[in-house]
């Protein structure tokens, strides 16, 4: 037996129990169970005599004997009562369930250790459903004074896998594999950091012999967990800088210089200049840039992004900005077009709302290089969007995109082997003349990918092995078509006929697709499922002959564009070290001159009339205001009602024609939303009533008041983002947080924090303490923080030490190949095998 075996190898774990452990706790192997750590401990360091028991409901431990057992009839069934005595007195042990089974298992005049919560009735103590074991059993077990409590679920408890049973499984596991537990850290690191050994740490995390040993075990395991995360992140950073090539932007040319001299609307802050210098160093080094730019709301990240894109354009490359919402993308587009007025730079906007004709124009412009900057939403990630030479990708509010989505930006430059114009011309004609077949083909392709046959799997098993001379890829996209298997070097496509094309329309569509792929210069070999199953060796032999006879084609892998990810949500230092530890980080930590700090106040619903009076005073000065209502997905109907009720009350208090009001919410059509936004931007309306759709992307310098309704329903990050919609002009701005009187402790902390500071980094630290790292990053980003024992908030000091240690190890041994680091390399290699995908994407 070893640690990689399933848990059924452990004494007492049946197949049914193993299935439950997996579905409920994610425990599949012995190693998984070894690393299922207790979340608390019952301290059984003290034994009481019965005479010493105080009249409270504490959990206590007593040694004694059962002197008598009886069943007592009740209205429903009966209860079992046993008299338990020691030299100082006696108490009753009571069971309300399972009386018959328990009665048969109890032994009189045998020493027992009992543990449970005291119950008092008429000053007499009893103990319902105690934990019991004979003194002999107690002494034979690993646990002594402190008992672990493991995570559990209702289903586990109902099926008889109690904490005691789980503890028994882990005890059996230790007895079976203790000698196989290997040390994962080198001796010199253990000595330097005064760490407990791996075996002793695991033993004392499950069965601590004392509080002191438990503390040492926890420290060791937390350090190790954080150390290996830092080792991965820092190693990834080293590899990226040394092995992944990046375009070299050698010069700062005419476009940058002209813009800087003639179009830049204000003097850059020192922080912006510093960040720009850091970026210029990266993009001129020949290594791939992967930099995180964080700066508070209104700190001027967009200008830095634009100047970076101008450097790319000066060096003959294209640039793109991807934003999470259409509103933000449109805001970027209008802002950048305005800033570039008078220049020859062509900027386009691509979103889900872009019309087909416009999309085609953009696609053509990107491929021939006439479009210099593309701004858009997720629409940029579509396979159809290809650039001539994308030099830099900028991702705004990057935490809203998953790693898989961001990785698609690496594939936006053409691979030489598939850029033939003839094939594209045929495909364009095909799209116009056979739109229904085209749609059908897409559906067939999707079905095929979702229904991989055993024949395809058998063929891929052979094609994917490294023994073959020529490398094959699976489910490869050529222009708009997905093929089963392809050897790019020989331009050979292998497809398995799975009887998907059966109707005349499907056959016609498949034939047209073959014609187009041939026009792209590809040879296609079709194999039947029968051929593969009956004689796979002959199939492979046939393929090898074809490959040898075909001429080789030079396939240039495109160099990935530089990546700059931006966030206006400041990231606490501990989180930056763990989640973004592989990135270079730039911080814009000062606001442009002339910006006044936004005054923030907290008011209750009963103060609404005075708040509205203040709004009227500001509007009379020529200012504008936002009134924002919460939007919580679980209850969109309720939120919509809240918004409409609020809108109606504001219309009553701010009657037309003196006051004009815009309304924006998520249920509106994009065109209607844009119309209302534009009215507010142009100053045609004084108040915008909205949900959180305006959290990012709205820039109206004349808006000076932000009223946030039901502010207690918002998170700190959202409140800070919303506040950032005002304070963009030279006038004093205000943020008014309206709430009910019923506030939870966390809500009070959030609102108080907003009133006390406008510093995004201080706010982020409070937010991290309140919500924890997983919730702050969201599910897409929290993979690296799937921690078993460490906590990046509470264990900041350990994290810092782990990062320093990992950095020092890599300075001395960048490839982790020295003999003294053999144990490190072994664990690191195992981690790399599991992580694999997208390991170089920010």
pLDDT for 236-252, tens place per residue?
Answer: 888 777 777 788 898 88
Rounded CA-CA distance 100/260 in Å is: 88
Q: Report residue 70 as tokens.
A: 């009886």
Nearest Cα residue to 230 out of 793, 792, 821, 823: 792
Q: Are residues 519 and 668 in the same domain?
A: no
Contact 189, 805 (CB under 8 A): yes
More confident residue, 182 or 123: 182
Domain encompassing residue 528? 421-471+490-549
pTM higher than 0.85, yes or no? no
Q: Are residues 269 and 392 in the same domain?
A: yes
Q: Are residues 348 and 393 in the same domain?
A: yes
More confident residue, 319 or 786: 319
Residue 221 is assigned to a structural domain of this protein: no
Nearest Cα residue to 729 out of 692, 758, 699, 689: 699
Q: Are residues 734 and 626 in the same domain?
A: yes
Note the helical H segments in 621-691: 636-653, 670-681
Average pLDDT, stretch 288-299? 84
Instruction: Indicate if the pLDDT at residue 728 is higher than 90.
Output: no
Rounded CA-CA distance 725/719 in Å is: 10
More confident residue, 698 or 611: 611
- Residues 741-770 pLDDT 10s: 888 888 999 999 999 998 887 888 888 778
Instruction: Indicate if the pLDDT at residue 114 is higher than 60.
Output: yes
Band of residue 450 on the pLDDT scale cut at 50, 70, 90: low
More confident residue, 416 or 9: 9
Q: Are residues 444 and 523 in the same domain?
A: yes
Query: Which CATH number do you get for residue 66?
Result: 2.40.50.140
Specify the pLDDT at position 631. 65
Instruction: Indicate if the pLDDT at residue 638 is higher than 80.
Output: no
Rounded CA-CA distance 309/760 in Å is: 26
Residue 660 is assigned to a structural domain of this protein: yes
Instruction: Indicate if the pLDDT at residue 660 is higher than 60.
Output: yes
Percent of the chain whose predicted confidence (pLDDT) is above 90: 35
Q: Are residues 269 and 385 in the same domain?
A: yes
- Residues 504-556 pLDDT 10s: 777 777 777 788 788 777 888 888 888 888 888 888 888 888 888 887 765 55
Query: Which CATH number do you get for residue 691?
Result: 3.40.50.300
Q: Are residues 638 and 673 in the same domain?
A: yes
Specify the pLDDT at position 836. 45
Which residues does 831 contact at the CB level (< 8 Å), separation at least 6?
Answer: 228, 232
More confident residue, 196 or 835: 196
Band of residue 55 on the pLDDT scale cut at 50, 70, 90: confident
Rounded CA-CA distance 430/366 in Å is: 21
Q: Are residues 714 and 604 in the same domain?
A: yes
Residue 269 is given by DSSP the state P
DSSP-based three-state secondary structure for 716 = helix
Q: Are residues 519 and 663 in the same domain?
A: no
Residue 5 is assigned to a structural domain of this protein: no
Q: ∠ CA 785-790-795 to the nearest 5 degrees?
A: 105
- Residues 469-478 pLDDT 10s: 677 877 676 7
Average pLDDT, stretch 781-785? 46
Rounded CA-CA distance 48/50 in Å is: 6
Total number of residues shown for the chain? 842
Specify the pLDDT at position 416. 46
Instruction: Indicate if the pLDDT at residue 692 is higher than 80.
Output: no
- Residues 341-382 pLDDT 10s: 989 999 999 998 889 999 999 999 998 899 999 999 989 988
Average pLDDT, stretch 397-410? 62
Mean pLDDT of the chain: 83
Q: Are residues 433 and 408 in the same domain?
A: no
b/e map of 168-199 (b: 16 or more CB within 10 Å)?
bbbbbbbebbeeebeebbbeebbeebebbebe
Of the ranges 39-48, 220-229, 289-298, 469-478, the best mean pLDDT one: 220-229
Q: Are residues 364 and 403 in the same domain?
A: yes
């Amino acid at each position: 037996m070893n640690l990689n075996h399933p848990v059924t190898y452990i004494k007492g774990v049946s197949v049914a129990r193993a299935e439950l452990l997996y579905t409920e706790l994610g425990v599949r192997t012995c190693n998984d169970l070894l690393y299922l750590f207790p979340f608390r401990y019952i301290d059984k360091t003290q034994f009481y005599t019965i005479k010493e028991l105080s009249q409270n409901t504490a959990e206590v431990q007593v040694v004694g004997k059962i002197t008598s057992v009886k069943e007592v009839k009740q209205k429903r069934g009966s209860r079992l009562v046993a008299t338990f005595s020691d030299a100082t007195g006696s108490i009753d042990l009571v069971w309300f369930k399972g009386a018959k089974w328990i009665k048969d298992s109890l032994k009189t005049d045998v020493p027992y250790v009992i543990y449970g919560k005291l119950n008092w009735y008429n000053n007499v103590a009893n103990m319902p459903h105690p934990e019991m074991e004979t003194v002999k059993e107690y002494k034979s077990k690993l646990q002594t004074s402190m008992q672990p409590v493991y995570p559990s679920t209702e289903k586990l408890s109902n099926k008889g896998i109690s904490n005691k049973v789980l503890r028994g499984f882990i005890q059996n596991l230790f007895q079976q594999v203790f000698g196989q537990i290997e040390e994962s850290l080198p001796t010199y690191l253990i000595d330097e950091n005064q760490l407990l050994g791996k075996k002793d740490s695991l033993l004392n995390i499950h069965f601590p012999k004392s509080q002191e040993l438990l503390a040492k075990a926890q420290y060791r395991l937390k350090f190790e967990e954080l150390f290996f995360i830092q080792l991965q992140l820092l190693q990834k950073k080293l590899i990226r800088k040394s092995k992944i090539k990046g375009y070299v932007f050698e010069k700062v040319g005419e476009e940058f210089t002209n813009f800087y001299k003639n179009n830049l609307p204000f003097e850059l802050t020192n922080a912006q200049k510093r960040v720009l210098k850091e970026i210029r160093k990266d993009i001129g080094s020949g290594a791939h840039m992967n930099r995180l730019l964080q700066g508070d709301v209104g700190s001027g990240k967009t200008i830095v992004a634009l100047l970076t894109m101008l450097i790319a354009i000066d060096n003959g490359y294209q640039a793109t900005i991807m934003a999470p919402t259409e509103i933000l993308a449109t805001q970027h587009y209008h802002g950048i077009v305005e800033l570039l007025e008078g220049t020859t730079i062509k900027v386009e906007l691509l979103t889900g709302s872009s019309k087909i004709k416009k999309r085609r124009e953009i696609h053509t412009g990107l491929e021939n290089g006439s479009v210099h900057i593309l701004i858009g939403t997720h629409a940029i990630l579509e396979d159809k969007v290809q650039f001539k030479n994308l030099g830099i990708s900028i991702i705004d509010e990057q935490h809203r995109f998953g790693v898989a989505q961001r990785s698609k930006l690496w594939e936006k430059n053409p691979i030489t082997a598939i850029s033939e114009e003839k094939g594209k011309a045929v495909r364009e004609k095909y799209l116009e003349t056979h739109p229904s077949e085209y749609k059908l083909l897409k559906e067939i392709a999707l079905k095929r990918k979702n229904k991989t046959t055993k024949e395809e799997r058998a063929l891929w098993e052979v094609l994917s092995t490294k023994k073959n001379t020529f490398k094959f890829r699976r489910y490869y996209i050529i222009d708009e078509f997905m093929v089963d298997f392809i050897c790019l070097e020989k331009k050979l496509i292998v497809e398995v006929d799975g009887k998907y094309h059966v109707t005349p329309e499907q056959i016609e569509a498949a034939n047209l697709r073959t014609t187009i792929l041939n026009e792209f210069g590809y040879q296609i070999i079709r194999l039947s499922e029968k051929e593969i199953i009956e004689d796979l060796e002959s199939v492979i032999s046939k393929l090898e002959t074809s490959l040898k006879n075909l001429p080789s084609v030079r396939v240039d892998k495109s160099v990935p564009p530089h990546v700059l990810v931006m966030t206006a949500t400041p990231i606490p230092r501990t989180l930056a070290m763990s989640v973004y530890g592989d990135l270079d980080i730039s911080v814009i930590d000062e606001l442009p001159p002339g910006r006044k700090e936004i005054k923030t106040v907290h008011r209750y619903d009963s103060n609404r009339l005075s708040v509205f009076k203040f709004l009227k005073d500001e509007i009379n000065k020529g200012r504008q205001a936002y009134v924002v209502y919460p939007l919580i997905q679980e209850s969109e109907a309720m939120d919509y009602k809240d918004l409409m009720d609020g809108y109606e009350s504001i219309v009553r208090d701010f009657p037309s024609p003196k006051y004009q009001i815009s309304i924006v919410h998520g249920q509106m059509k994009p065109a209607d939303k844009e119309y209302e936004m534009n009215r507010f931007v142009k100053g045609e309306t004084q108040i915008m009533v909205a949900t959180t759709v305006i959290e990012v992307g709205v820039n109206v310098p004349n808006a000076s008041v932000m009223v946030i309704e039901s502010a207690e329903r918002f998170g700190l990050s959202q409140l800070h983002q919303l506040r950032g919609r005002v304070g963009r002009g030279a006038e004093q701005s205000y943020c008014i947080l309206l709430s009910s009187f019923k506030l939870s402790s966390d809500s009070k902390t959030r609102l108080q924090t907003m009133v006390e500071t406008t510093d995004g980094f201080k706010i982020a630290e409070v937010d991290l303490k309140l919500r924890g790292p997983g919730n702050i990053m969201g599910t897409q980003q929290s993979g690296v923080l799937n921690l078993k024992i460490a906590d990046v908030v509470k264990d900041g000091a350990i994290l810092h030490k782990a990062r320093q240690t990992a950095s020092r190890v890599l300075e001395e041994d960048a490839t982790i190949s020295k003999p003294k680091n053999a144990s490190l390399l072994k664990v690191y290699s195992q981690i790399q095998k599991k992580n694999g995908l997208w390991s170089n994407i920010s």
